[in-house]
């Protein structure tokens, strides 16, 4: 499209002339009418002239001209393309740009918004955008683009990789996610043109990912509309019923809100405090969530009113809070001071819940004008790119901290794990705890001591061994509460335990633990694989350490691996039988066939089991093998080597001989092993305590116990205990037999 090409059909008058009648994008926001259907369309469309008029309100003329130039480039690139609704595709990027202009974003952001789909959906390249609009705009557009050129095995993985790329781009320039959120908002407004299944999937993704990201960045107004639109698409019948219910009671509630506002203003007479009073009902999705959480019908839901008191200073905020508490009784436990301790997204306000004379609970928020601006616009409220800065304010800094944590998680995890971690991190019901120095650490509700340690520093988390909560010793799994003071003791050389994954809640902690375990598992897989391949090669008179290049190459044939260590690790993980690899190595060349014939009948030593091999040597829970038992090994794909007793029924079910490994116990096995015993006892008071004492006296621990009735006079107790070997187990059983109430004890 040339520079003098006509504008899109429907544009009239001068390009930059302010339109005589208000025109809007399809489904333009109606923030002050939450229960009006936001997808209604009167047929009008936003024109480039409207966009330029919006930009002229706060931008220089050369910046407005660049926006128009971006429109020409985008319209030419998208020429011939249409959305599912039938309208020309260029209307969508113009609508996204208008949402950002309402936030007063800078010109590179608006330009990038107009071009945000050209790399993904047209033949235009990043280099072309960089040449015409600058490297900064090109990087933002590239960050917003999806990974459409890459094929992934599942939608979950594709979603995770797209999100990963977006977050990486966000770390360089936070404007990427602001454009992406505006893009998602317009897509949600026009969701009606899509098939139900696709609309449902997009709505779920919006509620699970994009609305929480908007909340994390403090973009309150945008989040509310995303949530309501997502709710409408996910549950259209519930949405419609709730809309009708809210309309039916609106008249009465508006009257109540007016009385509440009048009472507050009357109470403020005589105080020299500048104030704005804003009364509102909570939005639909919030009401729906409260109804589900509290299992209440709408008529019984009380706290659907919210009153916002906006003043000029922090001092006046606390004065207004006192006046409000003096006016009506506050609900105990509902006061929150987010001014002294801001939320993770930078939100600041005083919150309290009062019981009004109308028997309605009223949520009161008290904040300054600046806090109110930040609460509505979040990170966009602090944007300083237009003055050459890089964004400022606590909201921007907190967003950066959050992104740094997420990038650390994504470097240590796979796609699906990363997506799970992001979702967990986006729904924090926060608690605030203190370091011994008085620094505040924000954590999601349910966070434990280990989560706290990783929040302070990854190395402290990896090496933590003990903790004190409020100056008292506490287990690492202890759940933290608001106001706790936590001290961590760490020790070099101490490593994360796999059991920590059972109780940690933060994405950072989970990602760091998984990363360590993956590295540990990889190292153990190589060690175990070497031992297994050495034993298999011994049958052919070959040593692994002396393999020729020809034999190494032969081992790698018909495998996806580029080096022998990767193949050996795959053997250790149980994904590839060592016998088949050994046979391929032995048959590598015709010259080797003679030695193969001579040594094929030679027997190799069984694999020696010490009991401390780590994650990839497991002891079967069905038969609980002990040192001294005759054992056999089974290679399980992805799990490694599972040790069974020779007479185990489960062990003999497999008909694949390549997966069985001859194993034997080392001369001096180490560690303790779990074993199951069954005890029949007479039903007498204190029987269980006496048996537990006998087990403890024999230097054993009880891992688990189950109690079952055998008949009216006797009970059967099933214990899972620890023992070092068969001899130790025999001592334990003798100790238990001495208990007067014990009738019989047997190993299961």
Strands, E, within 196-288: which ranges? 276-281
- Give the Å distances, CA to CA, from 493 to 121, 335, 518: 51, 44, 17
Burial class (CB in 10 A: 0-12, 13-18, 19+), 135: exposed
Altogether, the residues listed in the chain come to a count of 748
**Among residues 548, 506, 742, 724, which one has the least CA distance to residue 627?**
724
Helix spans in 103-207 (H)? 107-114, 118-121, 126-133, 135-144, 155-172, 175-189, 196-205
If residue 742 lies in a helix (H) or strand (E), which one and from where to where?
strand 742-747
Q: What is the Cα 470 distance to its own chain's centre? A: 29
Q: What's the token pair of residue 629?
A: 């038992």
Rounded CA separation 313/696 (Å): 65
CA dihedral of 480, 481, 482, 483, whole degrees rounded to 10: -70
Write the CB contacts of 26 (distance below 8 Å, at least 6 apart in sequence): 41, 44, 45, 85, 87, 91, 95, 189, 190
Collapse the DSSP code of 672 into the 3-class scheme (helix H, G, I; strand E, B; otherwise coil) and give the result.
Answer: coil
| Cβ–Cβ < 8 Å for 49, 11 | yes
Q: How large is the angle between the packed helices 126-133 and 135-144, nearest 10 degrees?
A: 140
Radius of gyration of the chain (CA): 34
Strands, E, within 45-104: which ranges? none
Q: What's the token pair of residue 108?
A: 């590179």
| Cβ–Cβ < 8 Å for 694, 745 | no
Rounded CA separation 505/431 (Å): 12
DSSP-derived letter for residue 437 is T
DSSP-derived letter for residue 448 is B
DSSP-derived letter for residue 193 is G
Write the CB contacts of 321 (distance below 8 Å, at least 6 apart in sequence): 350, 352, 364, 366
Write the CB contacts of 503 (distance below 8 Å, at least 6 apart in sequence): 448, 450, 477
CA dihedral of 609, 610, 611, 612, whole degrees rounded to 10: -120
β-bridge partners, 744: 680
| Cβ–Cβ < 8 Å for 379, 391 | yes
Q: Is 636 left (phi over 0), alpha (psi -120 to 50) or beta?
A: beta
Q: Which residues are catalytic?
A: 120-121
Q: What's the token pair of residue 299?
A: 């008529």
Rounded CA separation 483/349 (Å): 19
- Give the Å distances, CA to CA, from 331 to 313, 328, 364, 724: 25, 10, 11, 58
Rounded CA separation 389/387 (Å): 6
């Amino acid at each position: 499209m040339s520079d003098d090409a006509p504008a899109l059909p429907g544009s009239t008058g001068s390009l930059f002339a302010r339109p005589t009648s208000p025109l809007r994008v399809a489904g333009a926001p109606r923030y002050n009418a939450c229960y009006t259907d936001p997808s209604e369309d009167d047929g009008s469309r936003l024109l480039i002239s409207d966009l330029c008029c919006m930009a002229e309100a706060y931008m220089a003329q050369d910046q407005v001209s660049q926006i128009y130039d971006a429109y020409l480039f985008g319209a030419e690139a998208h020429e011939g393309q249409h959305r599912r609704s039938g309208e020309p595709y260029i209307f969508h990027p113009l609508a996204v740009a208008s949402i950002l202009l309402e936030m007063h974003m800078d010109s590179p952001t608006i330009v990038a918004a107009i071009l945000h789909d050209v790399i993904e959906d047209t033949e235009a390249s990043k280099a072309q955008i960089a040449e015409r609009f600058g490297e900064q705009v090109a990087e933002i557009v590239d960050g917003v683009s999806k990974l459409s050129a890459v094929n992934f095995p599942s939608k979950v993985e594709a979603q995770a990789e797209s999100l990963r790329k977006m977050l990486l781009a966000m770390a360089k320039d936070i404007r990427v996610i602001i454009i992406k959120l505006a893009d998602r908002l317009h897509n949600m407004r026009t969701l009606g043109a899509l098939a139900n299944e696709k609309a449902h999937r997009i709505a779920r993704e919006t509620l699970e990912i994009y609305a929480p990201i908007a909340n994390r960045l403090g973009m309150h107004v945008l989040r509310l509309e995303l949530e309501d639109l997502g709710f409408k698409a996910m549950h259209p019948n519930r949405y419609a019923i709730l809309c009708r219910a809210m309309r039916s009671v609106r008249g009465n509630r508006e009257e109540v809100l007016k009385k509440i506002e009048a009472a507050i203003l009357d109470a403020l007479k005589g105080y020299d405090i500048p104030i704005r009073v804003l009364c509102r009902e909570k939005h639909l999705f919030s009401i729906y969530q409260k109804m589900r959480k509290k299992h209440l019908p709408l008529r019984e839901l009380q706290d659907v009113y919210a009153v916002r008191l906006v003043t000029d200073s922090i001092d006046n905020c606390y004065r207004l809070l006192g006046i409000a508490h003096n006016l009506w009784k506050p609900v105990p436990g509902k006061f929150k001071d987010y001014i002294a301790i801001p939320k993770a997204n930078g939100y600041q306000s005083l919150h309290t819940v009062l019981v009004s004379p109308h028997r309605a609970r009223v949520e009161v928020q008290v904040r300054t004008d600046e806090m109110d601006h930040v609460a509505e616009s979040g990170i966009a409220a602090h944007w300083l790119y237009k003055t050459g800065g890089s964004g400022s304010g606590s909201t921007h800094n907190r967003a950066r901290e959050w992104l740094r944590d997420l990038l650390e998680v994504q470097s240590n995890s796979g796609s699906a794990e990363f997506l799970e971690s992001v979702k967990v991190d986006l729904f924090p019901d926060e608690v605030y705890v203190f370091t011994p120095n008085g620094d505040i650490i924000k954590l999601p509700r349910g966070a434990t001591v280990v989560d706290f340690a990783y929040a302070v520093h990854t190395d402290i988390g990896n090496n933590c061994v003990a903790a004190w909560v409020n100056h008292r010793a506490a287990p690492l799994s202890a759940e933290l509460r608001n106001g706790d003071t936590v001290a961590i003791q760490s020790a070099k050389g101490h490593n994360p335990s796999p059991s920590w994954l059972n109780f940690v809640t933060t994405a950072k902690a989970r990602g760091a633990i998984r990363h360590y375990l993956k590295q540990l598992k990889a190292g153990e897989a190589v060690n175990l694989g070497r031992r297994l391949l050495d034993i298999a090669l011994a049958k052919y008179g070959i040593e692994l350490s002396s393999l020729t290049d020809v034999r190494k190459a032969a081992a790698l044939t018909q495998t996806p691996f580029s080096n022998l260590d990767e193949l050996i690790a795959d053997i250790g993980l149980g994904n590839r039988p060592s016998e088949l690899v050994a046979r391929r190595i032995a048959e590598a060349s015709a010259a080797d066939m003679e030695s193969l014939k001579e040594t094929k009948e030679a027997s190799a030593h069984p694999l020696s089991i010490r009991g401390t091999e780590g994650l990839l040597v497991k002891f079967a829970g069905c038969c609980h093998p002990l040192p001294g038992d005759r054992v056999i090994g089974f290679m399980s794909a992805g799990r490694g080597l599972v040790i069974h007793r020779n007479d185990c029924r489960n062990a003999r079910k497999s008909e694949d001989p390549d997966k069985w490994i001859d194993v034997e116990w080392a001369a001096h096995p180490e560690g303790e092993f779990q074993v199951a015993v069954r005890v029949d006892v007479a039903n007498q008071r204190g029987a269980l305590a006496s048996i537990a004492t006998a087990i403890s006296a024999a230097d054993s621990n009880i891992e688990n116990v189950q109690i079952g009735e055998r008949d009216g006079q006797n009970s059967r107790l099933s214990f899972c205990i620890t023992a070092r070997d068969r001899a130790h187990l025999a001592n334990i059983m003798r100790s238990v037999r001495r208990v007067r109430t014990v009738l019989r004890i047997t190993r299961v």
